[in-house]
Structure 1
Amino acid sequence: TDLLIPKCSNHPWSHKMAAFNSMVNRLTKIPMNKSDFENEKKIIINLAIRNGYSPKTIEKKIQRYTNKTKQSLDNHDKQEKEKEYICLPFSTTLNKATRKTFGNSTFKVSYRTRNNCFDLISKKLHQNTKQNDSYNNSGVYKINCSDCQNYYIGQTSRNFKLRFKEHIQALKSNNTTSMKSNFA
């Protein structure tokens, strides 16, 4: 399965690059001979192409990781000043402004998406508690006739209260276009 987060998806760039960062990190850190290195590199680049990324992006990433590895071996004693992380919700419209604001600061911005299981479940629970009254929902409904054994089954995308009011209005105004008016 060569499926990674496609370039065209609405995710933070850091999330899109996470798999490539991992693969390139492994490529540069694990000792291997030149031919194995080149084969692994081709696989990573092909994955990038199949998911809409430019091979140059991966080449730069490999170069950067290779340079980092060399620098870390040369300058093992030098420690980079640690940055504090700030986690913000990802928004395509605010992304550039956020990068400009925190670009040269001592803070490192990480993004989180809102489409996770917790958010989906909590949103659904909130909707359920908000709409405890089942007549506020939409869907399929059944109305029994008060005079005979007949019934009417209807479907609505609006809430049931509104639709029932329309049926009652149809009965009062003798409007036969409402199916319920034929049964009451």
Structure 2
Amino acid sequence: MGAPSSAILSEFFLQYIESNQIINILTKNKILGCFRYIGDILILYDHTSTDINNLLNELNQIHQNIIYTLEPENNRQINFLDVTISTANEELKFNIYRKPTYTDTIIPYSSCHPTQQKLAALRYFSNRPDSYPLEQEEKDKEKTIIQNIAHNNGFPSHIINKFINKPPPQITNTTPKTKNKNNKKLATLTYVGKETCHISKIFKNSNIRIAYKNRSNLQHLLNQKTDKKDIYEQSGVYQLTCSDCKKTYTRQTGSNFEKRFKEHLQA
């Protein structure tokens, strides 16, 4: 897992060796193109002028803790991130790629989550085909897959049709949006249903931005200790009260309380 800064420092280091060592290796081996996203790399090369195994060996000699592996194309296609890239008649074709372990499980419509959170997956799925140069046939296949995913998770037909039939997004302005100088404070509310939404509307015109959280998650469930340690097996500060004069005796012990109480009785 590492520290929160691990990912940033790792990226800095990779960019450093890319600009100082890897670029020279790629040039020497006549690589046509190299594209990296975090730990996945796509390389374009001409097999008549490049020995890909020799390239792999050179890359693995850069640093002992950075090991590269090779996955060549199969049947003139290769998977990179969430896209399958294939070649046919000297043309590139693209399709959405899903791993063999992929399941169609998303937040069910009946789940006690904010509506925007439940619709987030469908919104992403429906926008993704328009982000890649897919042919219309592949886009239609993707729509069918999205319909099945939504149906299997209990979404009503009118919501499914809304996402399936919506027009592709239009890019009207590429100018970066300026950040709102009025920095709002963030507050979180535990989502328990529509009542939480009604409460959040109270803060609509305030300087507070509301975000929802849900306690029914793995972290909350796994952190619940089922085997609570007996208090008498623990150590710490204790207090004894005299049954005759009602005076109290307060002390701290490194032994467990049961052992310390027995010592008092034997004294």
Instruction: Specify whether residues 60 and 92 from structure 1 end up closer, same or farther in structure 2 by C-alpha distance, changes over 3 A only.
Output: same
Query: How far is the alpha carbon of 1:103 from its aligned partner?
Result: 5.0
Structure 2 distance, partners of 1:2, 1:118, is 22
Q: 2:112 aligns with which of 10, 18, 21?
A: 10
Query: How far is the alpha carbon of 1:81 from its aligned partner?
Result: 5.5
Query: How far is the alpha carbon of 1:62 from its aligned partner?
Result: 5.1
Query: How far is the alpha carbon of 1:116 from its aligned partner?
Result: 2.9
1:69-111, Cα deviation, whole Å (9 max, x unpaired): 30xx212226275585543211115233135334566765332
Q: Is the 8 A contact 2:109 2:154 kept in 1?
A: yes
Where in structure 1 are there 5+ consecutive unaligned residues?
A: 135-184
Structure 1 distance, partners of 2:203, 2:166, is 22
Alignment TM-score, normalising by the size of structure 1: 0.53
Alignment of 1:124-143 (within 5 A): 124=225, 128=228, 132-133=231-232
Q: 1:114 aligns with which of 205, 209, 215?
A: 215
Structure 1 distance, partners of 2:149, 2:221, is 30
Structure 1 match to 2:145:
43
Q: Is the 8 A contact 1:89 1:111 kept in 2?
A: yes
Calculate the aligned-residue CA RMSD, in Å.
3.3
Instruction: Specify whether residues 60 and 91 from structure 1 end up closer, same or farther in structure 2 by C-alpha distance, changes over 3 A only.
Output: same
Structure 1 distance, partners of 2:162, 2:187, is 26
Moved more, 95-104 or 3-12: 95-104
Q: Is the 8 A contact 1:7 1:53 kept in 2?
A: yes
Query: How far is the alpha carbon of 1:41 from its aligned partner?
Result: 1.0
Query: How far is the alpha carbon of 1:47 from its aligned partner?
Result: 1.5
Alignment of 1:50-89 (within 5 A): 50-61=152-163, 66=168, 69-70=169-170, 73-77=171-175, 79=177, 82=180, 84=184, 86-89=187-190
| Larger strand proportion of the pair | 2
Query: How far is the alpha carbon of 1:53 from its aligned partner?
Result: 0.8
Query: How far is the alpha carbon of 1:49 from its aligned partner?
Result: 1.6
SS at match of 2:113: coil
Residue identity opposite 1:92 in structure 2? G
Alignment TM-score, normalising by the size of structure 2: 0.39
Find out whether 1:31 has 2:31 as its counterpart.
no
| Larger helix proportion of the pair | 1
